[in-house]
Structure 1
Amino acid sequence: MNIDEPLVAGFVLPGRGRKRHRQGTESTIVNRLPILKYLPRHFRSHFVAMCGEFIGTFLFLFFAFSGTQVANTQTRPQTSTTIAQASNPAQLLYISLCFGFSLVVNAWVFFRISGGLFNPAVTLGMCLVGALPYIRGVLLAVSQILGAISAAAVVSVLFPGPLDVRTALRIGTSITQGLFIEMFLTAQLVFTIFMLAAEKHKATFIAPVGIGLSLFIAELTGVFYTGGSVNPARSFGPEVVLRTFHHYHWIYWVGPILGSLLASSFYRFMKMLEYETANPGADFDEHEKEHFDPEIHGSRPPTIVNLQPSDQQNLEKYGEARTITGAEADHYDPDGVKASPGNHTAGKGRHRRMSALKGGRKDPGFSPAEASQKEIEGLTDVYDAAPGAELGEASNRGHI
């Protein structure tokens, strides 16, 4: 069933009316609410993203807080309202699993709506690397904080007993230690998001799984010592609902922000070094790797390319190495020979590079008139080894 075309008895929003489509004459892509066509596109997109991030953060933290509340119900002292005193490994594992799996599910659901960030520190990192406009980042951060407060309030009302999900330093953990613990845990989470979600690759669609596992191991480490915040909104929400703040509450803001800065700096550094070249073809299957891996191709014998008159003119004009792409590539067959009109195999010659000897400069003894009659030494058929060259736009790497 197409939900855009409900059944006769289906629910219809007020003012929307039932859509009538003439098959083959009208587009089925229409505004579901007529009022949307009067809103500026950027305003509408910001509003939708804010709604998605608010609901997503609410659901993520609602289930995370609920699991934490359950874990602490039987073990907390009568006056306890924090989770940093828990020392039972089973309890720590339960809390960590609740946070990790809640993030996996909700990030997967809201990824296409708002990006599924749910964390002001992550939002800051995405802005710093250029994956998110700053105005959108501010709007999403506000939505995340409001969603965290709402989640803490609902859990406080629904579950019996005092709200027991606050983050606090364990006795013996100094403020400085807590600050750096939060910084490194957040850096690990943010960098994971950069590499799995911001960097487009074949496994992007399952990025929420890796991100959730990243939060899971961060919680395993941090819950015992700091409460495992790694998210300013996560710590701020319960504090607002309980109307009490620890004097060191600031570390749950400064620590994650520093971690986001650290992860962003390292990511930028890796991009400057062109990390993709260290392991080319990491996302290729066996067939793609065979064609695009420079090491595999390097073992192949060179292919002699017979230049046509038009190619001779180009060689005279440019006198240097160049890449045949676009419309030109359609006129070459896999052997580098210019194809005749109507030859549909010519398109297989894409992404090939012809380079002349002597650093790409013309040989003084080179005669264009004889080019088509003798073997052109040094002109080889080389595959372009750029990662993702044959992948779709959604699979190209490094779109930051």
Structure 2
Amino acid sequence: MTKNIEGSINEVNDIELEEGSVPKSDKKGDAWASAAFVTLAQKLFAEVLGTFFIIFTGCGSVVVNKLYDGIVTFPGICVVWGLIVMVMIYSVGHISGAHFNPAVTITFAIFRRFPWKQVPMYIAAQLMGSILASGTLALMFDIPEKDYFGTIPAGSPWQSFAMEIVISFLLMFVISGVATDNRAIGELAGIAVGMTIMLNVLVGGPISGASMNPARSIGPAIVKHVYKGLWVYIFGPPIGTIAGAFCYNLIRFTDKPLREITKTSSFLRSVSKD
């Protein structure tokens, strides 16, 4: 997300940046707080941290629920996944764009909203975060094989494959709407994406584990050496996210002038006018 998941917050004067560029800061004191001077290394570190805490918290809720007699409950796990994604979007979205997901990174690159040259590094950072989080959980808890916290198809692999495509489609459709369209309320992007994750886990969790993210499935698989049905989670989410972004782009276009469109692009801006 070159514009970031919080891109609408930081856009000023409706200036659209070229691919891969960063806005210039007019205030010297904002040097380390804005995207203008954030180095690639800082972005990658933010992706590692964000992915780490998403996997650690989300998969951790699964581990605790299995080891402690269902104390978290399935609805609780759904809420945890949604909340941690929302929290990390608001925490580091202004630094790295808050991808945390190779499928999202690839999709944004395909639709020219992220530079291709950074894609391999972002994916490597996301995988590193997932592996570190999975390793941390494995060290903290004595997890038997039956309590595996990764994703395995509950039934037919093709059923799970279809489910991953559908829920990943919805996720990327929402991301495209709230994070890349100036007409959306950018300040609420984290809430919208987090709620989508929660709903997807609620529906798809019992079928496929509701990965929506190759890194989420690959990390636990590598740490615990469980590779059953892993192809479902490597290929399903990217297919879904690409299709979701494509469909949103079909309805994105409008004949309204830019000045009229951007009047409602910011929730905070509209409140301040009232």
Same fold (TM over 0.5): yes
Structure 1 runs, 4 residues or longer, greater than 4 Å off:
27-32, 389-392
Aligned residues: 237
Q: 1:390, 1:161 → 2: CA distance? A: 50
Correspondence for 1:388 among 244, 258, 262: 262
Partner of 2:13: none
Amino acid paired to 1:208? G
Q: Deviations over 1:17-36 (max 9, x none)?
A: xxxxxxxxxx854988xxxx
Partner of 1:167: 151
Quote how far apart the aligned CAs of 1:109 are: 0.5
Determine whether 1:134 maps to 2:128: no
Aligned-residue Cα RMSD (Å) equals 2.9
Quote how far apart the aligned CAs of 1:268 are: 2.4
Q: Deviations over 1:94-143 (max 9, x none)?
A: 21111111101111101111011111111112112221111222221111
Partner SS state of residue 94, structure 2: coil
Amino acid paired to 1:147? G
TM alignment of 1:248-287, pairs within 5 A: 248-271=229-252, 274=253, 276-277=254-255
Higher RCO by CA contacts (8 Å cutoff, separation 6 or greater): 2
Correspondence for 1:183 among 145, 150, 165: 165
Q: 2:263, 2:55 → 1: CA distance? A: 40
Contact 1:72 1:164 in 2 (8 A): no
Q: Deviations over 1:135-161 (max 9, x none)?
A: 222221111111001111111111243
Amino acid paired to 1:263? G
Q: 2:107, 2:165 → 1: CA distance? A: 13
Q: Which has the higher helix share?
A: 2
Contact 2:88 2:98 in 1 (8 A): yes
Q: Which ranges of structure 2 fall in alignment gaps of 5 or more residues?
A: 1-26, 270-274
Contact 1:50 1:114 in 2 (8 A): yes
Amino acid paired to 2:46? G
Q: Give the TM-score normalised by structure 1.
A: 0.54
Contact 1:129 1:268 in 2 (8 A): no
Q: Which ranges of structure 1 fall in alignment gaps of 5 or more residues?
A: 1-26, 33-40, 77-87, 281-291, 293-383, 396-400
Partner SS state of residue 262, structure 2: coil
Quote how far apart the aligned CAs of 1:211 are: 0.2
Q: Give the TM-score normalised by structure 2.
A: 0.78
Q: 2:30, 2:192 → 1: CA distance? A: 36
Q: 1:386 to 1:222 in 2, by over 3 A?
A: same
Q: How many percent identity over aligned positions?
A: 22
Q: 1:30, 1:227 → 2: CA distance? A: 41
Q: 1:250 to 1:109 in 2, by over 3 A?
A: same
Larger Rg: 1
